[in-house]
Each structure stands twice: as C-alpha cells, then as structure tokens.
Amino acid sequence: MIGYFVLAMIASVVMLFMAVFGLWAASSAVMTNPIALPTMLKSMMVYLPAVWMMIGVSVLLIGIFPGQSSISWGYLGFSIFVVYLGRLMQFPDWLQKTSPFAHIPQLPVDKINYPTLFIMTGIAIVLMVIGFIGYRKRDIRG
C-alpha cells in the first residue's frame, strides 16, 4: 500500500501544479493582465490539504474497512456536489462544511486561513496513520 500511497501523494502535487500551470499559460496567452503565476501557485497550495484529506479517507477505508473502500469515491462525489451546487440548491451550511473542499479559501479574493489548513493537514495525517496501522494489522500474506 505504501507504493500506491507515495504515488497518490506525488500525483496530487504534480497534477495540481500542471492544472495551475495550464490555466496560467492559457490566461497569459489571451489576457492583457493575467493573474500572476505566484498567485495561482498559492491557490494550488491551499487545495493540497483537502486533496490529502481525501487520500487519508481512502487510506483509512482501505486499512480498516477494505470491503468498504469504494465509499471514498462516494464521499468525493458528495463533496464535489455539495461544494459546487450547495449554494445553488440552498443546502444548509453544516452540510456544505462536511466536505474538506468547503474549507478552502477562494484566493486571491479571500485571505489564507493557515490554522484551518494546518488542522486539515493534521487530520489527513491522522487518517493516513490509522489506515496504515489498520493495514499492517490485517491478516495479509505476501
């Protein structure tokens, strides 16, 4: 599982960087005053704790409840649905806050809330550690 985990962590950073770089390159090509690359990179960095929380949920489910690991895909779909359509469909605020993506500041409009990002990163680490401990305790032979 460590191999998949390392790949997921690397891919989370690389894919977000590629998306931001692509958006920056496209905006630089068509806008007279594009958003600066450092600003866009900050926007990418605030999304990493939420992505890592989703990886943490997956690791936890694989490690503790291997038969229920597909729940992580359902939670990802739920998170995207609630965050992007929550205001439109007038979902309650508490329901929107169940997604890690709801706690991400909208840069450059909002300010970065560092304590929230550190707490999300800490929760992601705890989920991952519990998942790895559960995985090691399972009766798996290689």
Residues 100-117: what's their mean pLDDT? 86
The Cβ of residue 39 has, within 10 Å, a number of other Cβ atoms equal to 13
Q: Does 139 have pLDDT greater than 80?
A: no
pTM (two decimals):
0.87
pLDDT digits (tens, 9 = 90+) for 116-131: 999 999 999 999 999 9
Contact criterion met (CB below 8 Å) for 96 and 102: yes
For residue 23, pLDDT beyond 70: yes
